[in-house]
């Protein structure tokens, strides 16, 4: 990409399944997303899954999708499912209340 070419932006809406609640997944996810320069949000769902939106440069979103499969030490992620594209978010990364 040249200096005059705009960066490619992407935003995805995801569900993370497995043992992902009560193990610090949301805080871990927010820290990794911020390290990658992403905006968006993460929250627990009453179903036991974690829902998130990752928004930013395409390479950073792809990197977040890859590390989301790992999670913090106590987590056991069984799946990170991309539900679809989301609207671009530009105001930082938030941990939201359970939805």
What amino acid positions are annotated as catalytic residues? 26, 44
Q: What is the spatial order of strands in the sheet that 9-19 belongs to?
A: 76-85, 9-19, 50-57, 39-44, 93-95
């Amino acid at each position: 990409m040249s200096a005059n070419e705009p960066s490619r932006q992407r935003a995805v809406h995801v569900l993370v399944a497995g043992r992902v609640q009560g193990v610090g997944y949301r805080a871990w996810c927010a820290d990794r997303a911020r390290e990658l320069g992403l905006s968006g949000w993460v929250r627990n769902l009453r179903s036991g899954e974690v829902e998130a939106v990752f928004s930013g440069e395409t390479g950073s979103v792809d990197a977040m999708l890859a590390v989301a499969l790992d999670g913090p030490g106590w987590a056991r992620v069984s799946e990170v499912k991309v539900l679809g594209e989301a609207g671009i978010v530009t105001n930082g990364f938030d941990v939201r209340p359970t939805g």
